[in-house]
Amino acid sequence: MRRFIFWSLAIVLLAAAAHIVTSVFFPRLEREDTVAQLMGATKLNTITVLEDEDKLKTVLRGVPTDMAFAICPYDISEKPISISAPLPGTYWAISIFEPSGHNIYTLNDTQVGTDHFAALIMQGEAKTAAGEDTSKRRGGGIVIHTTQPRGVVVIRAFVDDRASRKNALASLASTECKPALSTASAG
């Protein structure tokens, strides 16, 4: 009987350890893999609207069908990147990810009181006081600092029918994601 209890306990502990390891490490590896796929799917410093649902599902696993997506893999090792996006009249969200899958910035329609989003993504530590948000509004845009020279911007917009999908895709297609002309506004 003791042997049965010992082996039962050993199996339960081994299963618990395996569960903890997979719960902690696999989501991180999947995030890193997803960001790597996004960064390799299109040209750097250029917005790409993922119109083709097959390509969308290849690049983003488990993507909801009621969303339209645009991505911009960027490299700011030489120059900051400027993002300018006219926003659809529906739900939208902009997220910026480092290559590790770490989300460094997210903003959605309820957080902004305008129909246009503008940002400058710069490499380097933000020079702010402790506890202050590292994103500062300057010249109508937001300055986002990151220590990583590469990353990916993901913009998604809600679509509830074919007509709204067409409008959302047109709005995403008019988004600019390109090297900044000057960093003077970033101060």
- State yes or no: pLDDT of 152 exceeds 50: yes
Look up residue 162 and give its two tokens: 């074919």
Note the pLDDT of residue 11: 83
Task: Report the C-alpha gap between 143 and 135 in whole angstroms.
Answer: 5
5: Cβ contacts below 8 Å, ≥ 6 apart: none
Tell me the percentage of the chain whose pLDDT exceeds 90: 9
Listed residue (60, 77, 78, 81) closest to 69, CA to CA: 60
Q: Which stretch, 26-40, 103-117, 119-133, has highest mean pLDDT?
A: 103-117
- State yes or no: pLDDT of 116 exceeds 90: no
Note the pLDDT of residue 76: 92
Task: Report the C-alpha gap between 130 and 119 in whole angstroms.
Answer: 22
Higher pLDDT among residues 89 and 105, named by residue: 105
Instruction: For 41-186, give the CATH class.
Output: mainly beta
Q: Amino acid identity of 186?
A: A
152: Cβ contacts below 8 Å, ≥ 6 apart: 35, 38, 39, 71, 72, 73, 74, 96, 97
Task: Report the C-alpha gap between 20 and 23 in whole angstroms.
Answer: 5
Instruction: Give tens-digit pLDDT for 13-51.
Output: 777 777 676 655 555 555 555 556 665 667 888 888 877
Q: Strand, coil or helix: what is 92?
A: strand
Strand order, beta sheet including 141-146: 136-138, 141-146, 116-123, 81-86, 176-179
